[in-house]
Amino acid sequence: MKILRLSFANIRKHKKESILFLILITLGLVLLAASVSSVIGIKKITPKMVEESGCYKNFAYFKQDHYSDIYLEFLKDNPDVESFDHTSFVSDIIKVKSTDEGDMLTDICFVPESGERRMENFNTTVGLDSADHPIVLASANRKKLDVTEGDNLTITWNNKEFSFTVAGFYETGIWNYGTKAVVSEEDFEYLENCMDERYEMIGINTAEGVDNRILLSDFKTFAEDASINDLSGSVYTYTYEDTVSTNDINMSLLSIIIMIMSAVIVTAIMIMIRFRIVSDIREQIVSIGVLEAMGYTSGQIAASYIAEYVLIALISALIGLAPAFFMTKGLIQNAASNIYYGGPVTVPAFPLMLCVLAMIIFVGLIALSRAIAVRKYPPVMAFRKGIDTHNFKKTILPLDKTKGSVHIRLAIKELFQNAKNHVGLTVCITTCTVLTLLGFILGTFFASPDRILGSVCGHELCDIRLEAVGDIEPSAFASELEDMTEVRQVLTPAVGIGVKITTDSNANTSDPDYPVTLEVYEDYSKTSTIFVINGRLPEHENEVCVTVQEQKKLEADLGDTITLEHGKIKKDYVITGIVNSAVNPITAYLTTPGFKRMDPSYTPSTFDIYLNDGADKKEFAELLRRRYGKEIAEYKDDDIKGEALEEKIRNAADKKMAEAMTEEGVSYMEYAIRVGDQTITGSTSIMKIKSLTFEKEENEEIANMLLVSFAGIAVIMMLISGIVVILILSILMASTIRKQYRELGIMKGLGYTSRELKFQLAFRIVPLAVLAVILGTILSILLMGVVNAYVCKIIISAFSIIMMDLAILLYCFICAYICAGRIKKISVYELISE
Amino acid sequence: MNRILRTEKLCKSFSNAGLQQHVIKNMDLEIFEGDFTVIMGSSGSGKSTLLYALSGMDKPSLGKVYFGDEEISSYNNDQLAVFRRKHCGFVFQSIYLLDNMNVFDNIMTGALVAQKNSPELVDRAGMLLKKVGISEDMWKKYPNQLSGGECQRVGIIRGVINDPKILFADEPTGALNSSSGRDVLDVFTELHKTGQSVVMVTHDIKTALRGSRVIYLRDGGIVGEHRMPAYGTDDDTQRRESLQNFLNDMGW
């Protein structure tokens, strides 16, 4: 009780500093507890989603034209397989008509009701057999598409409209997550005929102890051997373990960033408590002597200091528990929404309480590490104020050599005299600088959706991608497009072609053939969003670039040779560059002649069109349609109608030709139909467009999501850093003023104004802040190097970093100057009359 | 004699636990240039309070304080600080040297706040230190390496380094032994002889003997004033008797 009384007296005496500590510890505690417990809570979401939805755990996707039921033979009677089933689905980026905000592009995966019922519980009582085209959406779409039961949902694909009535919503499992939309068998059949991206999905549950990775690899090999087609790039497998770990990493990103921030605050708490206890002991040394003389042991006095901080930490725990709980819940809910899980989330109470307890113990231990210094002062030494006032050091920066401002000289002199005490502050400002700069870099660089797309894609983004059909000469067609006034340039890439990579190092592993998709360009110097972080892009036919992720997986480096396999043809290529690609990590980059080594018959049919600034994409697409005909699917899907017989015949002929081109691979057709005396002729020369897609626009949703996330993270990082800096400087200044009360009072007596002394105190931190900002900038650049290497290419001008550094310095100085404001309260008269 | 400081109905009161304590009451006082004014009085008579009100260390509760024609009692704290650095020097009973600075830096801290550094300033500091018996080998020493008397002599040099119009001293020998006290008082006498105006608070007759004018306070008011005879012989019996008589009259 005696000890607590001393602690309360100390808290009462320094109310403001205690409140600042309370805020700092509460902030650290809330962020630490919320981030740690949310990471633990997030780990439970994917298993919960699987359990609640009853979906399969492992998956294999096949492009439908490469799928055969023969593959299922591998799974039948396989002792490692517990159960399996399969369904068809179609998936693409589709335009959804919204009544409020115009059209929006979104990824939708249509599944037939029977298929979804086979793949998971499909927890809905809604019937899908009514005549008004019912659709049951994954529950995440309620908010995303802003629709509710009974609403009309109109989607457009390839200029064709489909109308559905929203019949209900359901919680989905982990295959295709919240993009799923369940439709009736008839509607699915219709969609399947209209849309290109058709897949077969096989869900597999394995027996306990089975290595899913090996099983799926064996399954893939079986399918490849059984198939008459080359399955490269047409089959994808996902093990449950990979799904869980990928989900956990993606969902925990925000929590991990908050955890880093809490680590910064915990560091600040540690440094500030140690600093303040030292100041307290120095300031109260005579009182300590008196207490010791009265019979208090040094242990009791030290315990009073420890109890003071433990009390503050306890109050922080009481205040912070509720915000930590709600923040944890918010973080888990936010994470759950990333994988479209809309079910209830639970906050793990035990880790939350454990973090709170750990924080209290941590604060107590830090206080103990410094408070123990009381033992150094027996009563007599305490009365004599230790030997702190006994200075025998060499004089640093003698004042008789002063040139310029005496205030700056005094500030620097004091700084050097107590350099050891300022190490902690430098560490705090350095970490805050790193957070602020990273926040600033992320915030400013990703302020533009274009930049986000360019940085994270590892894929060349154009305004319009034209897939051509029929008998065209690629270079002549590209030149023709390039001659149009709206066009800046045209590239002829080959994309999405599946190949397998083999290296010597992975030949004997469980996954010897590593499947990747190719990006092929004639001339990479014309590309602008494929960034090489090491080496250079391919220039010759035997050169290849791989992504950072592939490089790691293949354990290959620049100059190494890898073998690519496409259509049973294997060729060796030398790695000339490493590309960063967060979105497309399994991509390899070849030149057109390089790809032709594996596929000599390859002719480009994709034309990436880059428009001049100001050119309207939609208008240009219309222009293309007028010049080269509408998309071929539209001819195919058109109803045969028309006023005159000739028109009807032409439409019917076009439809037939379109079917032949898309389904039979016919490249050119002509027709001549005699009707009475008249001969109606036509050819496929007017059908040059297979599809037109707006590459940038289609990726805008992802870009906007990332933009909001990056902006949020940047703001949080900068805000937390700002709060931490102002809190530590407040505590530092308050402690310094208390510690130097006498010196500051004397200087006031000598005629130094409060403003000059405030400047001196604030200026003391400037050299530290400069050092800290330099260190922080170096660390940030190193960290950005890691981000550049593994996530995305971030280009930021040195000028803006320097300006931000200056802003941080100015902020630190202004905060310190304001926090030193309590110097005004020092009364010379009180000092003298003590 | 030119009037350097003047008070008009000066009042200073302190509030303690809701009780008002009037320490200085309606005081009218004039301080003249070149005078060595000694303020005496019993404990609690308001000597130090008056000194700090006159020097701009503290603000009066009521009334006015003029320095020349300037009313300094209306100044804010920063203006008072500038006033002090320009016109005043201080010597304290507790000396108040800055422990973390050596002798020379202690003096320069006081000097550089009022004027820019120059070779003349450094020379003047050195000259004054030598004059009060602080030899060059002590200039780099820290206060804890000096005796009390040496510290106080450094304190005096810090007080006069800026050639102040007026030097305020609050019981400058109060913390010193008699020998050191005498040395310190000799410095004050020397300064006074060069024309330095001094206002000193003391309750020691030997210290008061060094003054040219003695003001006696009781209960926050001036109850007597005595002008001391000019310096004469070495033992200055006449001055001692004169002061003794005055103090006897005051009930000392």
- Could you read off the pLDDT of A519-547 as tens digits, one per residue? 899 888 888 778 787 889 999 999 999 88
Residue A355 and residue A228 in one domain:
yes
Residue A100 forms part of a structural domain: yes
Alpha helices in A54-165 (DSSP H): 113-119, 140-144
Residue A18 and residue A96 in one domain:
no
**CA–CA separation, A328 and A342 (whole Å):** 16
How confident is the model over A314-340, as pLDDT tens digits? Answer: 999 999 999 999 999 999 998 888 888
At B64 the pLDDT is 93
Where is A29: in which H helix or E strand?
Answer: helix A15-42
Q: Give the gap in angstroms from C-alpha B229 to the nearest C-alpha of chain A.
A: 33
How confident is the model over A130-158, as pLDDT tens digits? Answer: 768 899 988 888 887 888 888 888 888 76
Residue A216 and residue A184 in one domain:
no
Q: Give the gap in angstroms from C-alpha A731 to the nearest C-alpha of chain B.
A: 23
Residue A559 forms part of a structural domain: no
Of A409, A824, A829, Cβ closest to residue B52:
A829
**CA–CA separation, A413 and A397 (whole Å):** 6
- Taking the C-alpha atoms of A251, A252, A257 and A258 in order, what is their torsion angle to the nearest 10 degrees? 110
**Residue A60: pLDDT above 80?**
yes
- Counting the structural domains of chain A, the total is 4
At A834 the pLDDT is 60
Contact B145 A392 (CB under 8 A): yes
**CA–CA separation, A345 and A339 (whole Å):** 13
- Burial group, residue A231, by CB count within 10 angstroms (0-12, 13-18, 19+): buried
In chain B, where the domains are located? 3-249
Angle at A472 (CA atoms; ends A467, A475), nearest 5 degrees: 85
Contacts of B75 (CB under 8 A, 6+ apart): B56, B83
Computed over every residue of chain A, the mean pLDDT equals 84
Residue A227 and residue A176 in one domain:
no
Lowest-confidence region among A577-591, A697-711, B37-51, B148-162: A697-711
Q: Which of A412, A746, A829 would you mutate first to test chain B, the one with the most B CBs within 10 A?
A: A746
Contact A580, A793 (CB under 8 A): yes
Contact A751 B113 (CB under 8 A): yes
Q: Give the gap in angstroms from C-alpha A768 to the nearest C-alpha of chain B.
A: 21
In Å, how far from its chain's centre is CA A384? 59
* Of the residues A687, A711, A726, the one at which a domain ends: A687
Residue A379 and residue A431 in one domain:
no
Residue A583 forms part of a structural domain: no
At A507 the pLDDT is 47
Contact A399 B108 (CB under 8 A): yes
**Shortest CA distance from A403: residue in chain B:** B117
**Residue A390: pLDDT above 60?**
no
Contact B104 A400 (CB under 8 A): yes
Contact B81 A406 (CB under 8 A): no
Q: Give the gap in angstroms from C-alpha B250 to the nearest C-alpha of chain A.
A: 26
At B148 the pLDDT is 86
Residue A530 forms part of a structural domain: no
Residue A378 and residue A412 in one domain:
no
Name residue A580's amino acid: N
Within 8 A of B113 by CB-CB distance, chain A residues are 406, 747, 750-752, 756
Residue A10 pairs in a beta bridge with none
Contacts of B44 (CB under 8 A, 6+ apart): none
Please compute the mean of the pLDDT values over residues A756-784 and round it to a whole number.
91
Nearest CA among A286, A309, A308, A279 for reference residue A421: A279
Residue A612 forms part of a structural domain: no
Please give the residue that has the higher pLDDT: either A820 or A632: A820
Q: What percent of chain A has pLDDT over 90?
A: 24
Q: How many CB pairs under 8 A join A and B?
A: 108
Residue A591 forms part of a structural domain: no
Q: Mention the CATH class of domain B3-249.
A: alpha beta
Residue A637 forms part of a structural domain: yes
In Å, how far from its chain's centre is CA A75? 37
Lowest-confidence region among A369-378, A388-397, A581-590, A734-743: A388-397
Residue A833 and residue A707 in one domain:
yes
At A585 the pLDDT is 76
* Of the residues A342, A369, A387, the one at which a domain ends: A387
**Shortest CA distance from A411: residue in chain B:** B109
Contact A487, A616 (CB under 8 A): no
Contact A832 B170 (CB under 8 A): yes
Contacts of B205 (CB under 8 A, 6+ apart): B240, B243, B244, B247
At A5 the pLDDT is 78
Q: Which chain B residues touch A if contact means CB-CB below 8 Å? A: 48, 52, 57-58, 77-78, 81-86, 88, 90, 92, 94, 96-102, 104-105, 108-110, 112-114, 117, 122, 125, 140, 142-145, 158, 170
Within 8 A of A410 by CB-CB distance, chain B residues are 109
How confident is the model over A404-417, as pLDDT tens digits? Answer: 788 888 888 888 87
How confident is the model over A455-469, as pLDDT tens digits? Answer: 666 777 888 889 887
**CA–CA separation, B195 and B193 (whole Å):** 5
- Where does A493-637 show beta strands of DSSP type E? 494-502, 514-521, 532-535, 543-547, 561-566, 569-579, 587-591, 606-611
* Of the residues A177, A206, A235, the one at which a domain ends: A206
Contact A748 B81 (CB under 8 A): yes
Residue A381 and residue A245 in one domain:
yes
Residue A302 and residue A445 in one domain:
no
Contact A584, A459 (CB under 8 A): yes
Q: Give the gap in angstroms from C-alpha A737 to the nearest C-alpha of chain B.
A: 15
Residue A830 and residue A730 in one domain:
yes
Q: What is the number of other CB atoms lying within 10 angstroms of the CB of residue B1?
A: 10
**CA–CA separation, A389 and A611 (whole Å):** 75
At B30 the pLDDT is 93
Alpha helices in chain B (DSSP H): 47-54, 77-87, 103-112, 119-131, 148-160, 178-193, 205-208, 237-249
Domain limits at A331?
Answer: 1-59+209-387
Residue A16 and residue A154 in one domain:
no
Within 8 A of B57 by CB-CB distance, chain A residues are 749, 828-829, 832
Please give the residue that has the higher pLDDT: either A412 or A312: A312
At A353 the pLDDT is 94
Where is A11: in which H helix or E strand?
Answer: helix A2-13
Contact B117 A406 (CB under 8 A): yes
Contact A688, A629 (CB under 8 A): yes
Of B83, B84, B96, Cβ closest to residue A746:
B96
Contact A30, A36 (CB under 8 A): no
In Å, how far from its chain's centre is CA A831? 57
Q: What is the number of other CB atoms lying within 10 angstroms of the CB of residue A815?
A: 21
User: Which portions of chain B are predicted below pLDDT 50?
Assistant: none
Q: Give the gap in angstroms from C-alpha A416 to the nearest C-alpha of chain B.
A: 12
At A697 the pLDDT is 75
Residue A348 and residue A213 in one domain:
yes
**DSSP, residue by residue, A308-345:** HHHHHHHHHHHHHHHHHHHHHHHHHHHHHHHTT--S--
**CA–CA separation, B138 and B153 (whole Å):** 12
Specify the residue for token string 């050599």: A401
Give the CA distances from residue A71 to residues A61, A80, A82, A218, A768, in Å, rounded to whole numbers and listed in that order.
12, 16, 16, 11, 67
* DSSP conformational letter for A464: E
